[in-house]
Structure 1
């Protein structure tokens, strides 16, 4: 008697199942459900912030853009270690200062300040000192997952879930040698693990009515991993 071959699923169905499992695994870590956090729509194709995650950014403007998404949604936020914070710039980005705790200069107690705020608030923006160790980042990461908070880091952060940086930019507002800088069109790059770098164009802040919205020149965009200097100067 010859056995009949078992029926197989269509390939499309298998691929869909794998993708669904990957999405489910991404939403879980250490047995804790990782919920989506408000993310700027301009960055929807690059990254989705989630509770329990840390995200590295290279510039204050980009950090405030990410922070503002949660602030506009009504969440309390915190800013730690940013001693040169521009209040007007933060408000222009959409940060509600009435629901924002600011610790501009925690000194040597930056980790304790960040940990205390992670315990109490859903989103914390931190500018740490140089030389953060993987052990320190891991300790705060475990706290993030327990408290279902999200950490935005302006600077180097070992083991971050994603890194975002400004790969290119051009300003609007200066005409034929005169005028005032009003807004900046940037190319934001994002790297997640070993995946290829992805890019998106956006304005910081939103574009003025007269701004030219044509795509930026390819020379502004590179798929090469940025150097430390490139990340600092974005």
Structure 2
């Protein structure tokens, strides 16, 4: 804890503007099309990759980010999603002290990816949200968070590449519902490749059912656009 508190002033980035950037494919999930400093985004449905993707554009633009509470975090997968690992602080297992560690980290980073070590009470959530607003840190939380400004729910996921029980996982398609408070209250439904077969995070067109009632080839859809360079085997996070 003392080490984190001492490190915070060294990490503190100069704010590049009122919003922290996100990848273009994620803009449709947020009412401001970027992460608002001091706001909380909760992600339920179990997608660590989606949380990591929220740090990609910010870290690449020079903003310090942190991941707290993600044991065994796949750093290779994070790098493939676009996260600048030289701008990422990782604290894997804070245990019951996670609120205190969170409070220390939000003073030094622009984006904090957080997986709480247990249920979050309204009192703890409000206290940490207040600290985040004061320091201008955007919180992206795995799981429910009382009073979150934006709530994202991963409703479905589809893997491409397995064929008839064999093959290599090449791409993952997510359906994410977005809602929340204030400007985020209008519910939206966004489909994403996270990633596609080329390693990119991009928006996906909805797959309409054909006349025979079957959905089109998911793997074929994942291969678009074809102009993107080929990628190595997928690292799953």
TM-score by length of 1: 0.72
User: What are the within-5 Å matches in structure 2 for residues 140-155 of structure 1?
Assistant: 140-155=128-143
Residue 61 of structure 1 deviates from its aligned partner by: 1.2
Partner of 2:151: 163
1:202 aligns with 2:188: no
1:56 aligns with 2:42: yes
TM-score by length of 2: 0.71
Asked whether the 8 Å contact 1:56–1:160 carries over to 2, the reply is: yes
Partner of 2:111: 123
Q: Distance in 1 between matches of 2:18 and 2:108?
A: 17
The number of residue pairs the alignment matches comes to: 184
Question: Unmatched 5+ residue regions in structure 1?
Answer: 1-33, 221-234
Q: Distance in 1 between matches of 2:120 and 2:128?
A: 11
Residue 196 of structure 1 deviates from its aligned partner by: 4.0
Residue 214 of structure 1 deviates from its aligned partner by: 5.8
Q: Distance in 2 between matches of 1:98 and 1:91?
A: 10
Partner of 1:46: 29
Residue 40 of structure 1 deviates from its aligned partner by: 2.1
1:111 aligns with 2:99: yes
**Structure 1 runs (4+) greater than 4 angstroms displaced:** 217-220
1:215 aligns with 2:206: yes
Q: Distance in 2 between matches of 1:50 and 1:146?
A: 13
Larger radius of gyration, structure 1 or 2? 1
Asked whether the 8 Å contact 1:130–1:156 carries over to 2, the reply is: no
Asked whether the 8 Å contact 1:39–1:66 carries over to 2, the reply is: yes
Question: Unmatched 5+ residue regions in structure 2?
Answer: 1-16, 216-237
Q: Distance in 1 between matches of 2:81 and 2:187?
A: 25
Match of residue 87, structure 1, among 75, 80, 83: 75
Give the SS at the match of 2:19: coil
Q: Distance in 1 between matches of 2:205 and 2:42?
A: 28
Residue 205 of structure 1 deviates from its aligned partner by: 1.4
Partner of 2:3: none
Asked whether the 8 Å contact 1:53–1:144 carries over to 2, the reply is: yes
Once the two structures are superposed, residues 12-56 of structure 1 have per-residue CA deviations (whole angstroms, 9 ceiling, x without a partner) of xxxxxxxxxxxxxxxxxxxxxx92111221122220320010110
Q: Distance in 2 between matches of 1:46 and 1:80?
A: 22
Once the two structures are superposed, residues 133-166 of structure 1 have per-residue CA deviations (whole angstroms, 9 ceiling, x without a partner) of 1111111111111111111101121111111121
Q: Distance in 2 between matches of 1:205 and 1:94?
A: 11
